[in-house]
Amino acid sequence: MKIFILFLICLLSLPVFSQPPNNTIDTAIPINIPIGGTCNGGSNFTLAWDSNGTTSNLFTECFYDIGFPIYSETDQFFTWTATSLVLRTTGVPMTIYDENYNQITCFSNNNSVYNNEYADISGWAIGDIIIIQIWTVNPPGYNGDVSFCLLQLPESPPNDTITGAIPIIPSPTTSNSDCDTPTFNLPISIDGTTNSGLGDCGSGKDQFFTWTATSTYLI
């Protein structure tokens, strides 16, 4: 009898960790993603994360792509009805699924995760219900907050593709020094501009304009 009582006391003294309600993909909960922003070096979401209660049995290519898979053994799931074609994120690896649990895309770039650089992810249509799996990059046994940035970019501008090019009027100039101060400002980092993949001068985001030539050269 004494042994039984001692054993019962030991069991009652063990720590109990409750799993979050969104611990599995079929229990994903809604997330409200704000529109606009850059995500550079900041976060707009903080999850109270207890890795002893949060588990995972859904490992994707992102899990093995992170470079430190032992740091990514726990996750939480969220649902979002897409009102934008592009999400911007940093701070945590994540995998995106459709409502039938088919993987759409994933984000696990080491440089972006650990240097607080942002990445833009896409692959769905407006109105689609998507599921976002967020991994923790903290060491095993971590108990605390997990902070990250997640934003939706606004709809792309009409001249985001070459077929949607719009007119532009270059400013008249008499010397090269007139371009020391920019005459045009395009907020391409926050206005939904994407990378068309056209041209050989770079691989960044781009917009398109038309011009009826009134000069034989531009500065």
Higher pLDDT, 14 or 151: 151
190: confidence class by pLDDT, cuts 50, 70, 90: low
User: Is the distance from CB of 52 to CB of 20 less than 8 angstroms?
Assistant: no
Judged against a pLDDT cut of 50, whether residue 12 lies above it is answered with: no
Characterize the bridge pairing of strands 143-152 and 86-90.
Answer: antiparallel
42-88: pLDDT as tens digits? 788 888 776 556 666 566 666 555 444 445 467 889 999 999 888 88
Beta bridge partners of 89: 119, 150
What percent of the chain lies above the pLDDT cut of 90? 14
What percent of the chain lies above the pLDDT cut of 70? 63
Higher pLDDT, 159 or 200: 159
Close Cβ partners of 42 (under 8 Å, ≥ 6 residues apart): 116, 149
CA 13 – CA 161 distance, rounded (Å): 63
Judged against a pLDDT cut of 90, whether residue 30 lies above it is answered with: yes
Report the pLDDT value the prediction gives residue 58, as an integer from 0 to 100: 66
122: exposed, middle or buried (C-beta count within 10 Å: 0-12, 13-18, 19+)?
middle
List the domain boundaries for the chain. Answer: 13-152, 157-194+202-219
90-104: pLDDT as tens digits? 777 888 999 999 999
Q: Could you tell me the pTM of the whole model?
A: 0.65
Within its chain, how far is the Cα of 157 from the centroid? 20
Q: Let me know if domain 13-152 sits in CATH 1.25.40.
A: no
Report the pLDDT value the prediction gives residue 33, as an integer from 0 to 100: 93
Q: Which of 74, 105, 89, 82 minimizes the C-alpha distance to 150?
A: 89
